[in-house]
Amino acid sequence: MREKLVIIGNGMAPGRMLEHLLERSPERYEVTIFNAEPRVNYDRIMLSPVLSGEKDYEQIIIHGDGWYIKHGITLYKGHKITKIDRTAKTVTSEHGVTESFDKLVIATGSVPFILPVPGNNLPGVLSYRDLDDVNAMLVAAQSRAKAVVIGGGLLGLEAAAGLKARDMDVTVVHLMPTLMERQLDPAAGYMLQRELEARGIKVVTKATTQAIIGQHRTEGVMLADGRVIPATLVIMAAGIRPNASIAKDAALETKRGILVDEGMRTSDPDIFAVGECAEIGGEVYGLVAPLYEMARVAAARLTGDDSATFVHNDTPTKLKVTGIDLFSLGDFADGDDRQEIVLRDATAGVYKRLVLKENRIIGTVLYGETTDGAWFNDLKKKQVDISDMRDTLIFGQAYQGGSPLDPMAAVAALPDDAEICGCNGVCKGKIVGTIKEKGLASLDDVRAHTKASASCGSCTGLVEQLMTLTLGDNYNPAAVQPMCACTSLGHDDVRRLIKAKGLKTIHAVMQELEWKTSCGCAKCRPALNYYLVCDWPGEYADDYQSRFINERAHANIQKDGTYSVVPRMWGGVTNSKELRAIADVVDKFAIPTVKVTGGQRIDMLGIKKEDLPAVWADLGKAGFVSGHAYAKGLRTVKTCVGTDWCRFGTQDSTGLGVRIEKFMWGSWTPAKVKMAVSGCPRNCAEATCKDVGVVCVDSGYEIHFAGAAGLDIKGTEVLGLVKTEDEALEVIVALVQMYREQGRYLERIYKWTKRVGVAEVRRQVLDDVERRRAFYERFVYSQKFAQVDPWSERVSGLHKHEFRPLAAVGVAQAAE
């Protein structure tokens, strides 16, 4: 019989502990988790990008619902533990659920320190620790009003930057003379303050908060000198405290945190503690690297490995604010027994300081240029005598040996045990060895197998350099290839910065991202137009001048300069009325060629451009909408006749195909999307070579994706099997929305899938129910503003490219 393991808390440390535990001994424990938050495990390091808009909640989930189901783990969401009975070996939640345990792990994290000042409980006063706090801030930020952040440490500054990105007027109030005084020396703190002020964030240092003022809600912050800073939102970011109350109530030994030994055991040998709630050797930790080390040790001890011990290592500090490069490590205080080496470049905004003791690095502060952080960290950790390179040390690894090295050569010169990813403690040798052993070829694969750059992402550049060194020409990341000659940025960076900076026009993108040309080109303008349409539905006005001619004309241009028009036939189904209307249009406009397409529709070829408005007007009177045969969007959903007529049909493939097409038509995608639904495994609709396909079987609907049947020939990947038609629709819509949000412009689904990985798509769309639903709902919202077709009152505007958004009622009618 398996032992019972109960975990209180579901943060990053217990999540990593479970990963190690399942690798070591997957069948040893029956695992139950009680999580006070009403959700699954997510990456708290990435809360700041969620606040700023660079990411959303679904993108920072670590373990979705499917992961817990797969591993047989019981997860109680929204269940705060109120009692530990050590004698009976049980825990009880606030909702009355009691669970027995053989082994217990406490991972209750920390609680924010709320300044004991008048008004600290007024509405509008928030802390910054979890997703609920972020969601509350996002609601408050919609007012575009004034915010005050109390505390100029890591969390405070990340909160300030996020709120500023949401267009709030932000002031940071900090007690000490310089920002981040625990991690930075005064010079770097000054440079950081200057950079934040240049971004429009006000900073008040040497300021003591006296009170939060307001009648019924927050109106401002009063300082000790009498100044009042107006604010409708106040963020308390003045520090955290280990959350050890439940352990103290259970008579476990505590001081600041829950006291644990080097094996993460508390004073009760059957109870462990990991994360921010634990205190070991007089230290409590808030950075993720030592928390993950605790997780590794606890997992080892839980599987009987008593040799695993926690060893303190200094952890680098990095600020997660886009565009601010900052690195600090170790002891950089002044002292008579130490020396320093300093480099300042005011023009470039660079400051570097190394603190030495007995010719060994004991502290490092880097601002503005941090690429040598890993190397300095390695020298400090190994206590290397730097006497022979003292004169060139501050210039970094590339300048050792007398002549500058290429940056790639500098990475190659790092030893195998040099730490690349500080958050997860991953060294160079593990990354290179795993790439070779498993044949990894993408950054996402490396993240999945090694965890390198999977947390804060600041080491991504180093990881990619290692991949280039290891794979040579076999690694050629499109992310670092410029979109075009107008910019040095790749598609991924452009899209990330559009969200992070809240850029909502093409001109704003070009100005803020420093485009090299005045108006862009035929490569970048359509891409920017798509990204803005997708990322800001309802806010960005689609710029048809930035679309290709086929999309502007709502028809396909042919080699002789005429056009072809393809009206939509839902799921390939038509009737006599529609056929007569097409015949009438063919006769009226003397259209020379009429052809049935491979997508089960009718194509009329040889139409003059000047006739297009009238052709569409006549087709529209018959109820036709565009087949979007020209579009970077959903083109067709090919179907077979299914159970209505076929003696082999297992499901209503025609009905599902029509439903999918009516639900999804009109929304732009990075490249064309073709679908198919086959009613049985005989696959008459050829669903297994489409971008998205469904093969109906007796037990439900088998979802396929990432096929190709053009210049590239590729069979689909199987996403998974669902039981109902409603589930099939939700999964397909979520899959397409994930592709819409993450695909690069003109990148087909099969190429996108190759880049992100089949397993990652399956994890986000099929396994993680919450994330899937969020993708689905974002698609539904975007459909309110989907592009529609040029007829009725808009026909006269066709050549002026005047189009209006589709109203919500239009979507509802289309889906009927």
* Nearest to 765, CA basis, from 712, 802, 720, 811: 720
In the structure encoding, which two tokens stand for residue 384, read together?
Answer: 């290397």
Do 312 and 348 contact (CB within 8 A), yes or no? no
The answer to whether 484 is a known ligand-binding residue is: no
* Nearest to 755, CA basis, from 528, 480, 535: 480
Query: Cα–Cα distance between 145 and 237 in angstroms, integer?
Result: 19
* Nearest to 125, CA basis, from 202, 59, 214: 214
Indicate the residue type of 15: G
**DSSP H or E run through 348:** none
Per-position DSSP letters for 136-167, written without gaps between them: HHHHHHTT--EEEEE--SHHHHHHHHHHHHTT
* Nearest to 115, CA basis, from 191, 16, 212: 212
Going from the C-alpha of 70 to that of each of 43, 158, 723, the distances in angstroms are 20, 35, 18
For the chain, how are helix, strand and coil distributed in percent, rounded to 5?
35, 20, 40
Per-position DSSP letters for 726-745, written without gaps between them: HHHHHHHHHHHHHHHHHPPT
Three-point CA angle 800, 805, 810, nearest 5°: 125
Residue matched to tokens 């991953």: 426
Three-point CA angle 755, 495, 737, nearest 5°: 65
Going from the C-alpha of 269 to that of each of 26, 614, 801, the distances in angstroms are 22, 83, 73
Q: What is the DSSP letter of 624?
A: -
N-term to C-term CA, the chain: 54
The answer to whether 680 is a known ligand-binding residue is: yes
Do 444 and 757 contact (CB within 8 A), yes or no? yes
Helix (H, G, I), strand (E, B) or coil at 567: strand
> Max CA-CA distance within the chain?
96
Query: Cα–Cα distance between 660 and 254 in angstroms, integer?
Result: 58
The answer to whether 684 is a known ligand-binding residue is: yes
Q: Checking phi first, is residue 127 left (phi over 0); if not, alpha (psi -120 to 50) or beta?
A: beta
Going from the C-alpha of 585 to that of each of 225, 320, 582, 612, 622, the distances in angstroms are 80, 60, 5, 11, 11
* Nearest to 571, CA basis, from 702, 660, 643, 647: 660
* CA count, 13 A, side-chain hemisphere, 531: 28
In the structure encoding, which two tokens stand for residue 804, read together?
Answer: 């209006």
* 177 C-beta neighbours (distance < 10 Å), count: 11
Indicate the residue type of 72: G
Chain-centroid distance, C-alpha 331: 33
Helix (H, G, I), strand (E, B) or coil at 248: helix
In the structure encoding, which two tokens stand for residue 788, read together?
Answer: 């529609």
What residues form the annotated binding site for siroheme? 684
What residues form the annotated binding site for [4Fe-4S] cluster? 640, 646, 680, 684
What residues form the annotated binding site? 640, 646, 680, 684
